[in-house]
Structure 1
Amino acid sequence: MQNIRSVCKICEAPVEDVLHVLFQCPHARATWFMSPLGLRTESLTEKPLLEVLLQLWKHLTNTQLAMFMSLGWHIWKARCSYIFQDKQCQPSSTLNDAISLIQQCHFKNGTWLNLGSDGKANSGEVRVQTDEGAQCCCWVDGSVGVTPASQQSGGAAYVLYKQGTLMRYELEYIAKPNSPFQTETQALLSAILAAQQLGVENCTFYSDCQLLIKTLEPTRNFRNIQAADWQAYQSLVRIAQLLLTHPGYCCQYISREENTQAHWLANRARTDRLSYVGFTMPMFSMG
């Protein structure tokens, strides 16, 4: 394989061939390892590129191969951006671009991509039950737990659908929340702000927190919220203002069993200390 350059401009390696650019450069290695494929490419240093590709071709599914090609393309684009535009891309940005591309391809066929923790991918129809007459539906949830250092941590999440198709989802890590109620209100506030930003005029927001739904009833007085939840109080005031200015928005209670996706995402935000916004079905399983 012919060398592209004598020296890698990113890591100053003495030889920059295709194998180095796609697999051996630290940026590429980090991107592959962070990806849903979880490849550790440091073991490929002594193998010819063709042998590497043939080995992967035999062991990856068609969906995983599509992800592999998208990652390789965006790793190459990141390298070119650094050399020709002096623009440095983080591995996480390269990964997100690759995931977005492959998911857009799947959504053109009306399917979503679901890659579980075992690394096996499945695709299926997007089917979400929505209320008749509701333009959009959104599920929200919050989560609170204790870290190994005995500190309280939290997560908030929402999943927004329009006529059964995913529009947007968000995970938000909350460090040291005052209470579980605070994470619930933060999840709902983030969801309403997202719907407003996307220009949604009619939306039903579902939560499995009865206290939150009851508190938002017009007859309730926000001053009754306990002083320990003062941060939740601030969010409630903003939520109430948004609901007043958007008559097409309403909040309803649902059971935990009906709120699996938002519940799973909120737990992931908390346990992984992860904050992330997505516009297509995530590559990981949502419960």
Structure 2
Amino acid sequence: MGQPWMELWAQFPPQNAVQRRMKVADLLSQQRHGWDNEKLIQVFGFHGALFIAITYPNDLVFSNRRDRLLFTPAKNGEFSIKGAYKLLTQGSHTGSSLSKLFNAIWYTPHILPRARVFLWKIAKNALPVEQVLCYRLNKQPQGCSLCGCQTENVVHTLFKCPVAQQVWFCSEFGLRTENLPDDSQQVLAMLFLSLSQQQRSAFSAIAWHLWKARCKEVFEGKKVSPFMVLSSASNLTFTMRIAPVAVPARRQILTTIVPNSPFICYSDASWVSHEEGGVGLAAVVFTNNRLLVQYELRVTAASSPFHSEVLALSMAVQMILSNNINDCCFLTDCKELFDVLNGLSGVTSVEWRAYDDTLQLLDVMTATPGFNCAHINRDDNHLADSFAKFARFRNVNCTDYTFPTCCIPDFC
């Protein structure tokens, strides 16, 4: 009981140095098969003894069960890297700032996906600049490949190099960057989080084109002027800002089932986090006179509820196309996905992890004139919901045709 780490968790430490040298076994009574209450009170006081007796009852202390290590911050007692990271960053200003920074990088709209990854690399100091390469390859630094004045790190390349200083000062931000700290994560958090969403789009475009200009000069020997960097960044910013408007509107914004569609397809997903299991997808096809024709169940992985809904509708579209059907109304209870497919919001506004799948689905829907997407209430999508939950709970992957029997499976 005299170990220093004991004091970190013991609420009622022993009263003196002699007692600190005692062992837990010295506090047990073999005759009583439990605690020696008199010794507990003598060592820890009445309140401490009462706390120990309640927290560690006799049947637990003298149990035949094997001891096991528990990670107490986790509900199940199991250690995980994620749990340890949360514990280390809990209440930390740095952890909070990092979380805000990465959320801003991944979820700010109107930023090119590759520029998002580029910003993430800046925050992680993962760009292949001289300082990073010399550290990895154990080489001596030669100086900045553009100005040669000092070691080339991320902050110098993008903010402190003479060309970079000119670009940022002439930009809409009017930044003086020569006195910025050399910590790329600190610089990005300080600058990026202080901007509005539209300004973040311009900031990312400038940083991205500064890096492209640096690579052109290093690898191709082509010098790019600050004016060209700003011009290219401005064009990219304008393109990304009008992207939601540029998405072609769907033929008809549907909120109810189209009566003249020969086929109606419900889709839904049953999502849980990666730690809890897979994602169940379901698609159910009816004729317009409500005869069940086909259903498909799949278990896969998805990064979020929205991503799982995209995968479910994509599976439904592929199932319809495999039957050579080109006229169908697809029903989903995901309002966000409905807005994207009907041109009410741009595909660039969706989360980055579902971007590629959403764009592919939008392309297929746009290329097939007979396909429409309508939004329904969650309660009206109970059949597809039951299919998706069954697929996830039972780990079922199947495709079945019910026509001409048109019978709903027993598990629904």
TM-score by length of 1: 0.49
Normalized per residue, which structure has more strand? 1
The higher-RCO structure (CA 8 Å, 6+ apart) is 1
**Rg bigger for which structure?**
2
